Structure 1
Amino acid sequence: MSDPAGHVVILGAGHAGGTAAALLRQYGHAGPITLVGEEPIPPYQRPPLSKAWLKGEADADSLALKPLEFYAEHHIDFRPSTRATSINRGARSVALSDGSTVSYDALILATGARAIALPIPGAKLDGVMFLRTAADAEVLKATVGPGKTLAVVGGGYIGLEVAASGRALGADVVVLEREDRLLARVACEALSTFFKAYHEQHGVVFELGAEVEAFEGEAGHVTGVKLAGGRIIPCDAAVVGVGAHPNDELARDCGLDVARGVVVDLEARTSDPSIFAIGDVAHRPMPIYGRMFRMESVPNALEGAKQAASAIAGKSAPAGEVPWQWSDQYDLKLQIAGYAFDVDEILVRGDPATAKFAVFHLKGDLVQAVEAINSPPEFMMGKQLILSRRPVSKARLADPTVSMKEVAA
């Protein structure tokens, strides 16, 4: 669609949906835009929820992508506290939870992903929480503090960020991870070892190889986590961070192609030419790696928003980008570029003992991914090498006395 008067409906008012609405106006789309969001507040940045928000350094206003008045000023019909219940592709209409129906010329699915709940006894006790929304973060912030114990189920990036923020708030923190190392699904062993030691220096306790069987409670509130074998880990609150599932039910129900997310092309277009999918819900092409993949990151949300808005507004498709993401823990800034697909060698540049190093994942002499701790040059140059597919000298890459600019030259 490139009809300048067409009605664009965006389902989901997160980072992807909010950005798409703003970009459509920036790119010259003059037709109506309706932005439908389940939360009562306008689109906001989500990564700080596990960091700045928990520590009281941010709130809804400071994290808003745009002030509330932006939407009215730019003739964007923002509908908070509302969700879509079904899509009628034949009629090009969407039924909403408030009983209304809205018609579209182009539809953008930006419905995101939801936290995976553990199907175990006690999972619905008060104090057993997730961290996906501002409301979740507000409840958690009010629950943890000095004299409290926070149990974190899951040793991935979200779990570790919550652990760091819990310690900053003065709470005791224990992380329960089913695998025998942290970050087992997303990072190499060198990074796992480094983060475990760093968190332990800050007082976090780890239980690895810990299978959670149930949450224990009294008077409807969680009091502990029961592990396989019967041992109880006492706690005042528990955060579950074991992954997320794409909210792709609307797409499935209306017959769009779905495979671990809504299948899209490089324009973010689904199997229906008038429907797009962006952000966490999209199963999208990754040309660098010659595969499809679903990603959960702010840069991915922004790239998808650019792709969909460009296609709808009749602009040229944006240039492809290297996927990247970050994690802040204590005084550590982890920046990750690319994905470690088809890797046959891992190379560490720098000394982990200094808390300033980078891990490069190689396929032959090509950089597939880089994980950089407090090392911006390694991240930036690594990102360029991933995009250019230019071979590197492993000896020079491993030598921190050789600058990354020289490595990449």
Structure 2
Amino acid sequence: MADSERPIVIVGASLGGAKAAEALREAGYRGGIVLIGEEHERPYERPPLSKGYLTGKDDREKIYVHPPQWYAEHDITLRLGTAVAAIDPAAHTVTLADDGQVGYHKLLLTTGSEPRRLPVPGAEQDGVLYLRRVDDSDRIKAALRPGARIAVIGAGWIGLEVAAAARTVGAEVTVLEALELPLLRVLGREVAQVFADLHRDHGVDLRFGVQVTELTGADGKVSGVKLGDGSEVAADAVVVGIGISPATALAEAAGLEVDNGIRTDQHLRTSDPDVYAAGDVANAHHPLFDRHIRVEHWANALNQPQTAARAMLGQPDAVYDRVPYFFTDAEWTPRQPNEPVASRDKLSMEYLGYVEPDGYDRVVFRGDVKANEFIAFWLKDGRVLAGMNMNVWDVTDPIRELIVSKRVVDADRLANPNIALGEV
């Protein structure tokens, strides 16, 4: 079979994989599409696993990207519960764990990432939980109950979202973090402090600058977290959220260039011209920043596949240049249906832009930080690098324009809520 007659194969039946298949069909591609996934679940979105699905606000059906019949209706071969063992770029084949082979014309890797494991004694006991897949969310949900003692290791996005969900159901929550503030590497000290205050205000016991040395337990069941100072935090369950690592093993073994993810150009093409990558696993060259960046958030998995699909179909203008975006949301106060939630009791945040931990020289706040209704801007030499709106809506477009324009702004006007962002 000629390469051009082979299907496009997508490895990773995730949000990114499903969206790539959808984009190929929408672009008019009528050839074969094979979507291969290791999980037995059809492609689903991951944000609800630490948000609405975890808290019980959303039912399971809402997490899926497409209805079950969608794949057959669009002539997409969906192979679930199927692990990929190897890729041979020279032969244009994918070898499956059951020794089967699938030839490809173009290959897209949406293999995502995996949670980093906690490297301490006792970490393999029952009750030590990670969050990546829907079954993980089910296990954490079962552990969140009134009065339960939940220890969360890591004060990143996942850790804080789980902590908020646990407090909402009435669990006792202790968050353990090696750094001195939550989200410090992502947000910097000024905004990280806001998140620390907000979670403490809602009963989360935040402990910073701590070292986890052991998970204690009896009969194979975790019962606590031992710290470097010899103290111990009692726990009925321990949720570990210490970051994720891009799933690059297949790419490395295939000889693709790997550096903090699978390295791609702005078209999401890897070092092999017939292999592309998108989502968490892709370290893509971004034309706006003129550098490679890897973004571990939903928006990349949602939007990069559209660029990859068009690029695989030979469209030279297929360039991924969207400003990085992510969001988080949480509520702490149980309420009756239709009862409004005070701003201080909810966290609805959107973030646009890209800033290295030491890449800014000033943070400008606009709005009421104490009321939890504000926008924060990260600036370097008077230019906006990123903006975060907290419980303030319909501002992402002007924030994006400030970032993309790269123009020098007046910080006092930027901070003044009486001046429209478009006029700063």
TM-score of the two chains, using structure 1 as the length reference: 0.96
Which residue of the partner structure matches residue 232 of structure 1?
A: 232
Alpha carbons 2:190, 2:363 under 8 Å: kept:
no
Matches within 5 A, 1:4-403: 5-315=5-315, 316-318=317-319, 320-330=321-331, 331-341=346-356, 342-403=359-420
Residues 42-65 of structure 1: per-residue CA shift (max 9 Å, x gap):
111111111111111223321111
Residues 288-333 of structure 1: per-residue CA shift (max 9 Å, x gap):
2221111111111223201110012234415621111001122211
Return the offset for 1:286: 2.0
Return the offset for 1:261: 0.5
Q: Distance in 2 between matches of 1:271 and 1:278?
A: 14
Alpha carbons 2:155, 2:177 under 8 Å: kept:
yes
TM-score of the two chains, using structure 2 as the length reference: 0.92
Deviates more, 1:72-81 or 1:312-321: 312-321
Q: Percentage identity across aligned positions?
A: 40
Return the offset for 1:89: 1.4
> Which residue type is aligned with residue 390 of structure 2?
I
> Which residue type is aligned with residue 238 of structure 1?
V
Alpha carbons 1:343, 1:361 under 8 Å: kept:
yes
Alpha carbons 1:276, 1:308 under 8 Å: kept:
yes
SS at match of 1:354: coil
Any unmatched runs of 5+ in structure 2? 332-345
Return the offset for 1:378: 4.2
Q: Distance in 2 between matches of 1:389 and 1:303?
A: 23
Return the offset for 1:188: 2.1
Alpha carbons 2:327, 2:348 under 8 Å: kept:
yes
SS at match of 1:142: helix
Q: Distance in 2 between matches of 1:238 and 1:230?
A: 18
> Which residue type is aligned with residue 155 of structure 2?
G
SS at match of 2:413: helix
Return the offset for 1:98: 2.8
Alpha carbons 2:286, 2:320 under 8 Å: kept:
no
Give the direction of change, closer, same or farther, for the CA distance of 1:99–1:319 in structure 2 (3 Å limit): closer
SS at match of 2:311: helix
SS at match of 1:185: helix
Deviates more, 1:261-270 or 1:292-301: 292-301
Alpha carbons 2:211, 2:228 under 8 Å: kept:
yes
Q: Distance in 2 between matches of 1:387 and 1:288?
A: 7
Q: Distance in 1 between matches of 2:326 and 2:298?
A: 7
Over the residues paired in the alignment, what is the CA RMSD in angstroms? 1.5
Q: Distance in 2 between matches of 1:140 and 1:288?
A: 39
Residues 166-207 of structure 1: per-residue CA shift (max 9 Å, x gap):
111221111001111111111122222211221122111111
Q: Distance in 2 between matches of 1:319 and 1:290?
A: 12
Q: Distance in 2 between matches of 1:28 and 1:390?
A: 39
Q: Distance in 1 between matches of 2:314 and 2:290?
A: 27
> Which residue type is aligned with residue 150 of structure 1?
I
